[in-house]
Structures are given as C-alpha cells and as structure tokens.
Amino acid sequence: MDQIESIKCLRLAEQIAGIINISKSVFDAIASTPRSAFVPSIKDAFSLDPQSIGGAQWISSPLTVAKMTEALRAQGCDNVLEIGCGSGYQAAVLSKIAHRVFSIERIESLASSAKTRLKQLGFNNVFVRFDDGSIGWKSSAPFDRIILSCATASVPQALFDQLKEDGVLVAPVANGGAQQITRYIKTAAGIESQVLDSCDFVPLLNGRA
C-alpha cells in the first residue's frame, strides 16, 4: 500500500475499534488490507456503508467484516473456508490472520476478478474457486473455520461435515425478517450455537451463475 492508503486503512481500523471491541489481530488485519482495491468507488472506499459490486452482490460494511472476523476466532488457524467471495475483501482480511483461506464464489465474473485482484495484491495464501458454495470445498476439507458471507435460513449440512471437531462456523442466519450473526461450534456431542449480533447480507443461493 502507498502511504495515503495505509493511513486511511489505519484510521478505518481505529474508527471500527471505537465502535466495537476487536482484537489486535483483527485491528491489524483491517489496517493492513487495502480497502480501496476491493470497492467500485474509491471515493466511498472507507465508508462504513455496504457497496454494490455488481451481479446483485454487495461488499459488506468494513464494520460487519470486523464483526464477522472477530466472531470467527481464526487467529493462527491453518485453513479457513469462506462462502461468498464477492470482491475478495473478507478473504484478504482473513488471510492476515489464518495461514490459508479458501473462498468460493458462485458468480463466475466475480470469482475471476477476485482471483486476479488478490493475486495482483500479493495475497498468495488465498485460493478462489468458482462453484456452488452450499456444497463447500470437499477436496480441501476439513477446515478449522468456516465463514458465510451470505445469509441462510439454515447452514447446509455439507458445511458442518467439512468443519473439524472443535471448529467454528460463523454465518448470518435469517430468521423471519431479520438476520443474526450466529457462531456455531462443532463438538463431539453435536453443534452448539450462539447468536451474536444483527446483520444484513445477500442470501446464500445454490448453483453457479
């Protein structure tokens, strides 16, 4: 990043930290990820509002990205699976915290542009795949952590099957007209869940587009 971008990313992290409690690892990840490279409008790059990226998809507010990343507890994890790559910003942030990030995008144009963008920016530990996110990434499973960047009424069983025991899955879960960030922990006895916060995401859809 150039100096101006670096200062703006640091201020963004500071703004987020002034609203919610975040760990040093999440703060540093936000502060060192070039936000403007992932949004369509550089003018609005550091806004806390979500932004349209085409294909009826949106890049989440950086505040929401911070909340989701914090909920995932991915510091030092070997591998993380993301469902819904979008522009690649959430994957880029996670790549600063976990060793490897596998990200699935069902819209081919978004998957292609995200893959190119992440490679050009030097995020060599992020792997992007054009596929149906609801079926996961079986060949690279099991995963320490799984994050859904899209809302679902219920988490597909295939994703729980690809989560390691004691692993964490974070998803926006739609309940009636509301969505809630929900953290799941896979234990030997089953799946435990905890509702953390409200949110607003595009829906998880099956198939490719």
Dump pLDDT digits (tens) for 103-138.
Answer: 999 999 999 999 999 999 999 999 999 999 999 999
Q: Which two tokens stand for residue 53?
A: 């990226």
More confident residue, 9 or 55: 9
Question: What would the pLDDT profile of 14-38 be if each residue is shown by its tens digit?
Answer: 999 999 999 999 999 999 999 999 9
Confidence of residue 159 (pLDDT cuts 50, 70, 90): very high
- Structure confidence at residue 54 (pLDDT): 65
pTM of the model: 0.94
- Give the catalytic positions in this structure: 60
Check: CB of residue 149 under 8 Å from CB of residue 84: yes
